[in-house]
Amino acid sequence: MNEKKKAVVLVSGGLDSATVLAIAAQQGYALYALSFDYGQRHQSELHAAARVAKQADVREHRCLHIDLGQLGGSALTDTQIAIPTEPAEGIPVTYVPARNTIFLSYGLAWMEVMGASDLFIGVNAVDYSGYPDCRPEFIAAFEHMANLATKTAIEGMPIRIHAPLQHLSKAEIIREGHRLGVNYGLTVSCYAADEQGRACGVCDACRLRRQGFIEAGVADPTHYQVA
C-alpha cells in the first residue's frame, strides 16, 4: 500500500479554502486541515470550517485559538471599526495585520511536528489587489524563508507552499470547485454573517462571491439575510 503524502491545508470555512481542500485531495495528499479562532467577528466561519473539513474527509482538523484580536487594528477583529459596504481605495480596513504570515507560520510548525513538507493556502488574484499578504511574491518569499527556518527543510525535505488559486478569478475558482464536487452551500464568505451563517449580501466578500457565481454560471447556494 502506498502511504499518501501529508499536506496541511489552511481552512477558513470560505469558498476559496473549500476549493483548495478539493484540489489537494485530487492531487493525492492526505489532508490535515488547520483553522484559527483569531477573534474574528464572524464565528460562523469556524462552524463552516468544521463542516467543510468533514465533507473533505480530512484525517484531522485542528482549530488553534490565537491572540490577534488582542493586538487590534482590523475591522475583522475590532468591533470599534465598521465593516465597509463600498469598495475602498488602497488596502481595506478588513485587512488583518500580518494574518497570513501568522497562519502560514503555524502551518509550518504543525508540518514540522508531523514530518510533512506541503502546505496549501487559498489566496487568490482577486484578494491580491487589496491585501499585500495575498500576492504571489509574498507566497514565494514565505516559501523561501520557510526553507531556511525549519528542521524539515535542513534535513532534506524542501517546504512547498501551494497556492493553487493564485491566478484564478472568483468565477474560475467556483467552476473548478464545482467540477470537483465542492458543496459551496457549506461555506461562509461573508464578513458579517449571522449566527446561522447567513450572509449579509452587501460586504466586499459577499459582493465578490455573488458576482463569482453569476460569472461562473453556477447556481449560488448561499443563504442570504437579504434578498
Q: CA 164 from chain center: how many Å?
A: 12
Q: Which is nearer to a copy of itself, 141 or 214 (CB)?
A: 141
Assigned C-alpha cell, 134? 495575498
Least Å from the CB of residue 157 to a copy of itself: 13
DSSP state of 186: G
C-alpha triplet 40, 45, 50: angle, nearest 5°: 130
> What distance in Å separates the CA atoms of residue 78 and residue 216, rounded to the nearest whole number?
34
Least Å from the CB of residue 180 to a copy of itself: 29
Least Å from the CB of residue 127 to a copy of itself: 13
Least Å from the CB of residue 154 to a copy of itself: 5
State the chain's maximal CA–CA distance in angstroms: 55
Question: Helix H segments across 56-192?
Answer: 99-114, 125-128, 136-149, 151-154, 170-179
Q: Which is nearer to a copy of itself, 94 or 222 (CB)?
A: 94
Q: Which is nearer to a copy of itself, 110 or 224 (CB)?
A: 110
Site residues (CB under 8 A) for a copy of itself?
A: 62, 64-68, 70-73, 91, 95, 97-102, 105-106, 108-110, 112-113, 132-133, 135, 137-138, 141-142, 144-146, 148-151, 153-155
Q: Which is nearer to a copy of itself, 97 or 221 (CB)?
A: 97
Least Å from the CB of residue 143 to a copy of itself: 9
Q: Which is nearer to a copy of itself, 153 or 171 (CB)?
A: 153
Q: How far is CA 164 from CA 24, 49, 107, in A?
A: 9, 19, 17
Q: Which is nearer to a copy of itself, 132 or 158 (CB)?
A: 132
Q: CA 55 from chain center: how many Å?
A: 16
Least Å from the CB of residue 152 to a copy of itself: 8
- Residue 128: exposure state from Cβ atoms within 10 A (0-12, 13-18, ≥19): middle
**35 and 9 in contact (C-beta within 8 Å)?**
no
